[in-house]
Amino acid sequence: ESAYFRVRLELRGATETPTRSYFATVITHALAKTHGVVGGAVPLDHLSFEPEDDDASKGEFDSSMKTSARRVVGVVRCHASDARKLRTALAMLTTTHDGTECVVRTLGEATSLVALAGECAARNLTLRLRG
């Protein structure tokens, strides 16, 4: 059984949008940093990756700081037994493997892609109705 995560990575001070391989490396780094060698060996599939528009969200960093931030969103699959490790590692990450300050948010988590799409769509609708 699998677990699917929709994840937003926001990099502070980045001048270029991260690549798909950079995104994958950051997630593996998060697992290794939090759970050691065992965490770094968790098998992951990176199913989608897309840069997020600058106005798609305000981001997590303080907007008064005049520092650029780049955001990407991706869908990651892992075995259901590794879901807690991945969730924990993503929540605790504050710097990437190359020292760039970052924020990682789990936008959705589900046991199927259909359920993940539904959860994310419902969350977006709720945010639009509030705003």
**pLDDT for res 52:** 83
Q: CA of 68: how far to CAs of 4, 62, 79, 99, in Å?
A: 29, 10, 35, 16
- pLDDT value of position 57: 46
pLDDT at 3: 95
Whose CA is closest to 44, among 89, 14, 10, 9? Answer: 89
Q: Which two tokens stand for residue 104?
A: 């990682």
Separation of CA 37 from chain center: 21
pLDDT score, position 56? 44
Residue 4's pLDDT is: 95
Find how far residue 19's CA is from the centre of its chain.
13
CB count in 10 Å sphere of residue 106: 14
Please give the Cα distance from 107 to 66 (Å, whole number): 25
- Which stretches of the chain drop beneath a pLDDT of 70? 53-68, 120, 122-131
Burial of 38 (0-12, 13-18, 19+ CB in 10 A): exposed
